[in-house]
Chain A
Amino acid sequence: SAVISQKPSRDICQRGTSLTIQCQVDSQVTMMFWYRQQPGQSLTLIATANQGSEATYESGFVIDKFPISRPNLTFSTLTVSNMSPEDSSIYLCSVVGTSGNTDTQYFGPGTRLTVL
């Protein structure tokens, strides 16, 4: 399994500002993912972050709004830019790790963002 930490755990931000969320993993992983989970909703994949290349964004998400960095195999950041109240959500970092001989997905504790 993988142990994932995120900073900050929560934040309250003003409209128009930006917030950078950090994700740290206790082991080297090839693929890291960023998800958004709106209250009471399922998990929506924002992008896949691979070390040494640009992140791959899902439909509806763009780099200008959600720039991602992946400087090494244990760390990634997601920035939520020019925030609006609609960006209020939980943002989750996840990685694919190996459990036994199976690749499975592990999640961080999440960052709860409130935009006023």
Chain B
Amino acid sequence: QQQVKQSPQSLIVQKGGISIINCAYENTAFDYFPWYQQFPGKGPALLIAIRPDVSEKKEGRFTISFNKSAKQFSLHIMDSQPGDSATYFCAASIGNQFYFGTGTSLTVIP
């Protein structure tokens, strides 16, 4: 059973546009929601994370929106750049147990 569902599987965005990746979860015990960015040939790197007691977290061009009642959270990349082209994974955790989404391959076209 997939604990975290991620969509879309792939996304193509024009340079300067907004990229939006969505995740949904079922287990209300999850208490930490990180996003990872993975470039080809590299391991996933922590990008930004949020706890369920806030509805939004922003770091530069990256924003997480969190909807606790809907059990959904999303990553927004503002002013998307070709250098943002990568695979993005959402995750949810309880303590040391992490559950990952299936990944979204983002391509930003110049």
Q: Which residues of A contact B (CB under 8 A)?
A: 1, 4, 31, 40-43, 92, 94, 96, 99, 102-110, 112
CB <8 Å contact, A105 and B102: no
Most buried by A among B89, B96, B101: B96
CB <8 Å contact, B34 and A105: yes
CB <8 Å contact, A43 and B96: no
CB <8 Å contact, B41 and A103: no
CB < 8 Å neighbour of A92 from B43, B46, B49, B93: B43
Interface of B is mostly: strand
CB <8 Å contact, B100 and A42: yes
- The verdict on B75 contacting chain A, using a C-beta distance below 8 Å, is no
* Number of B positions contacting A (CB below 8 A): 22
Q: From residue B48, how far is it (CB to closest CB) to chain A in Å?
A: 11
Q: From residue A47, how far is it (CB to closest CB) to chain B in Å?
A: 14
Q: Which residues of A contact B49 (CB under 8 A)?
A: 99, 102, 104
Chain B positions 60 through 102: 1 when the CB is less than 8 Å from some CB of chain A, otherwise 0: 0000000000000000000000000000010101011010111
Q: Which residues of A contact B44 (CB under 8 A)?
A: 43, 92, 107
Considering only residues 15-65 of chain B, those with a C-beta below 8 Å from chain A are 32, 34, 36, 41-46, 49, 51
